[in-house]
Structure 1
Amino acid sequence: MENGAKVDIQMFSPEKPAFDGAIPFLWLMAVGTVACASVWTFVVVGNEDKNSPSPGGDEAPESEIVELKTKTALVFIVTASLVLLFLFFFRSTWSAWLLVVLFCLGGLQGLHYVASTLTVRACEQCREAKVTLPALGNVAVVSLVIIPVALIFVVFWATHQSSPFAWVGQDLMGICMMILVLQVVHLPNIKVASALLISAFLYDIFWVFISPFIFKKSVMITVARGSDDGPSLPMVLKMPKEFDAWNGYDMIGFGDILFPGLLVAFSFR
């Protein structure tokens, strides 16, 4: 410096609050999703007769149920591990957008299912209102109204992911999608539940805590953060840290909700 003057530079680092206020809300969303999905058939759908039509068409909901088998645990470990490794080694904008597109498709189905079921529950006459369309046959009027609205919502979220309020749309689509998954996928017995949950537990432990010793980084955490120049991966519920000077989000993965949710829904049934 001129005239030999000394300048002291001090770095300011704000302290993180002792209590993260976003975590209780994230916990409520996760537990609430599982609770709603578990009682959905009995409370919202109304435990209807097996021959009754689903809100979106003529097919009975029971015909769409998929019962997991014991070998599903092994298939899950192998498939999920291969997908993780692929995303870890080939992290790019296109792979991130591919997951965003898949999430949007699942979110669209979830929004349609939840909204149509609630509409039919509130207005029983809406179930019978149908129109005949070329190549589609009989289509419920409620679906013709809800699907375009849900599609606009999904497209708007996909094009505004950088918005500070994008997490609201992501959480709404994620919750609806998980409710739909827990209606379609069922555990037949506690043996399958034990095999699946133990496999999922070992899967998480390995790819989060053990993988850094092999790949120099935690594979699951690296994949969850996404690439620097692409969108963040949407397969999580997230809540902003409003009282943290560092900002950021608290997150919980869909798998951490769905797998316990399968057991809770099985126990309730």
Structure 2
Amino acid sequence: MTTLILFIVVCSSLWIDKVACDNDAHIYYSGSQTSYPDKKWSDHFCITYNPKFHSLSTKVNTATVYDLVDLSRDPGCHLSNAYNNNTNVTDKVVAIARGNCTFTEKARVAQDHGAAGILIVSSDMVNPGANQTSDYDTINIVVASIRTADFVDIMKEGPDVEVKLVALGARGLDFTVIIIGVLAVSCVAVGGFWAGKTSTSDSKKSTQIAAGKPAGKTGDSDDADDSDEEPDISITAVIVFFLLVCTFLVLLYFFYDYLVYVVIIMFCLAGTIGLFACLEPLCRRIPWEARLPSNRIPLLRQRPLYRDIILGVLCLGVAVVWGIERKARFAWIVQDILGFAFCVNMLKTLRLPNLKICVVLMVLLFFYDIFFVFITPYITSSGESVMVKVATGGSAGSSSGEQIPMVFKVPHLWTACYGVQFSLLGFGDIVVPGLLISYNHRFDVKMTTKRIPIYFISTVIAYAVGLLITFVALYLMGKGQPALLYLVPCTLGTTFVIGCLRGEARSLWAGISKQRNTAKPQSEINTGAPVTTVKSADQSSSDGSSDGGSESRLLINTRK
């Protein structure tokens, strides 16, 4: 279960901002029925357009004025009769119906008849895309979409309507990215710190057991059930995991409408477990130790505490509320709460055994992020980035209207044309670097307990710097960024530099468990473990004589 959830999480390792907003535009209109001639271009509606076909001006004063031709009863396909009635559409914008043919076909037919652009009238707003990347080279007219109700209002201006199409352009700095950055840094810091705290508790229990004392509560341990054993993870297992991640992402791209519901269910389960794991240490402080009576119910045979049952039900209720109301305006808040708890629990629970495994995993996912964001647009027929399309709602033609929930979402401060727009940061960009941060903190507390956790603090700062670089690249390039491209070098590079400066690079690479095993004989001596010595027969005999003499002297002295 944990592995399945982890590679679903890694699939969504991307930071996106301004995704749908780049396609927003306004249509300004004027006709014979305009009430106030002095405010000729003041009325407008929202439209969406594809800038890859033809760009638009960002200023009303410089925008081109087009005559609008109403052919909205016809889809404007190859076999339609829209252009066969001696209708002059040269250098005009043609309004056509949604219909069954592709946007590329509609645009090519209109372009062949000399039109300057098409306005697709649809009951639902659509983002007109191309069938394949080469279509953007052969079609050079405006391709836009408008809602039916808005188009009807425009046509009330009379038979002769003029329009201006104006792109909204970039919105500038939006402080929601700061909120997402704080969420991400807080998540890796809390998860990494908790992982080190758990290791400290495990070390105290191990010391008590080695000293022959009962391993009771250590006072500061909220994780008494966690094991001190380091997982045995091989490079082969990491490579298999990486191949599963790639496969699942491709399956999501092609079968998004079906697999997205599997991901939603997994998120609800993982969010419930994570929220319970984060709140359960607080719940332990409630002085109520009553347990469920003996029973034969499979999930309740262990007689859990009533307080744990109540907490579990409440956590499940939060996840169920999100699952039912996931498209509501407030749903992003609940999603971020569940996501935060889930990521913290993953970082606290999952333990990478050594830096070698960390490096292999992070380097593979580093190239994974680059390939699926920057390379796949040159491979897919539509020119889409596989990662971006999966993170924002599936490949072209997706009809589910669902979105992958394995992301932090924060709405923009400004309002877009249609609906609220969000900044997104995938959980993979938190969990993957966070596993290294957790390992570093465990290394800090287990190698030397009385020192500043330099590896932990440094890599948390490096993670924050990597996020800042991602944010800058996001706004300079104006498109979704593979955050691991910047986070992996920052966190891994910092770890290696500090390890080399402190002379601990080999210890980091070998791992905590091997380093602990190397020091085991000395620890046994210090804790009073028995030392067995093998003696020869002669030595035993001489020892026996000596012992006997000692015993005789002891008896003589006693008699005296």
- Interval containing the TM-score (normalised by the shorter chain): 0.7 to 0.9
Corresponding residue for residue 243 of structure 1: 414
Tell me the amino acid that sits aligned with residue 197 of structure 1.
M
CA distance in 2, matches of 1:133, 1:55: 26
Deviations 1:53-111 (A, max 9, x none): 8979xx8211797454323431232001111111112222x321111001101011001
Conserved 8 A contact 1:208-1:221 = yes
Q: How many residues align?
A: 262
Conserved 8 A contact 2:195-2:441 = no
Corresponding residue for residue 228 of structure 1: 399
Q: 1:29 aligns with which of 177, 183, 208?
A: 183
Tell me the amino acid that sits aligned with residue 438 of structure 2.
A
Question: What is the TM-score when the length of structure 2 is the normalising length?
Answer: 0.43
Conserved 8 A contact 2:407-2:424 = yes
Greater mean deviation of Cα atoms: 197-206 or 214-223 = 214-223
Q: Does 1:142 align with 2:303?
A: no
Question: What is the TM-score when the length of structure 1 is the normalising length?
Answer: 0.86
Corresponding residue for residue 119 of structure 1: 283
Q: CA deviation at 1:42?
A: 5.5
Deviations 1:172-196 (A, max 9, x none): 1111111111122112111111111
Q: CA deviation at 1:137?
A: 2.2
Corresponding residue for residue 103 of structure 1: 267
Deviations 1:149-172 (A, max 9, x none): 111111111000111110111111
Conserved 8 A contact 2:176-2:412 = yes
Tell me the amino acid that sits aligned with residue 253 of structure 1.
G
What secondary structure is seen at the aligned counterpart in 2 of 1:239? Answer: strand
Q: Does 1:38 align with 2:192?
A: yes
Q: CA deviation at 1:219?
A: 1.3
Tell me the amino acid that sits aligned with residue 134 of structure 1.
N
Q: 1:82 aligns with which of 247, 267, 274?
A: 247
Q: Does 1:205 align with 2:370?
A: yes
Corresponding residue for residue 519 of structure 2: none
The residue correspondences of 1:159-238 to structure 2 (distance < 5 A) are 159-216=324-381, 217-226=384-393, 227-238=398-409
Structure 1 unmatched runs, 5+? none
Corresponding residue for residue 536 of structure 2: none
Q: CA deviation at 1:41?
A: 4.7
Conserved 8 A contact 2:283-2:308 = no
Q: CA deviation at 1:8?
A: 2.9
C-alpha distance 142-224 of structure 1, shift in aligned 2 (>3 A): same
- How high is the sequence identity, in percent, across the aligned residues? 29
Conserved 8 A contact 2:195-2:349 = no
What secondary structure is seen at the aligned counterpart in 1 of 2:170? Answer: coil
C-alpha distance 11-5 of structure 1, shift in aligned 2 (>3 A): same
CA distance in 2, matches of 1:104, 1:64: 29
CA distance in 2, matches of 1:174, 1:66: 25
Deviations 1:116-138 (A, max 9, x none): 12322xx1645x55333413222
Corresponding residue for residue 253 of structure 1: 426
Conserved 8 A contact 1:77-1:199 = yes
Corresponding residue for residue 291 of structure 2: 130
Structure 2 unmatched runs, 5+? 1-30, 33-157, 206-214, 443-560
CA distance in 1, matches of 2:230, 2:322: 29
What secondary structure is seen at the aligned counterpart in 1 of 2:304? Answer: strand
Conserved 8 A contact 1:77-1:200 = yes
Larger RCO (CA within 8 A; separation ≥ 6): 1
What secondary structure is seen at the aligned counterpart in 2 of 1:252? Answer: strand
Tell me the amino acid that sits aligned with residue 100 of structure 1.
I
CA distance in 1, matches of 2:432, 2:242: 13
Greater mean deviation of Cα atoms: 6-15 or 47-56 = 47-56
Tell me the amino acid that sits aligned with residue 140 of structure 1.
L
C-alpha distance 45-262 of structure 1, shift in aligned 2 (>3 A): closer
C-alpha distance 205-148 of structure 1, shift in aligned 2 (>3 A): same
Corresponding residue for residue 8 of structure 1: 162
CA distance in 2, matches of 1:158, 1:144: 21
Conserved 8 A contact 2:195-2:438 = no
CA distance in 2, matches of 1:129, 1:44: 26
Tell me the amino acid that sits aligned with residue 62 of structure 1.
S
C-alpha distance 231-67 of structure 1, shift in aligned 2 (>3 A): farther
User: Pairwise CA RMSD of aligned residues?
Assistant: 2.8
Indicate the structure with greater helix content. 1
What secondary structure is seen at the aligned counterpart in 2 of 1:8? Answer: strand
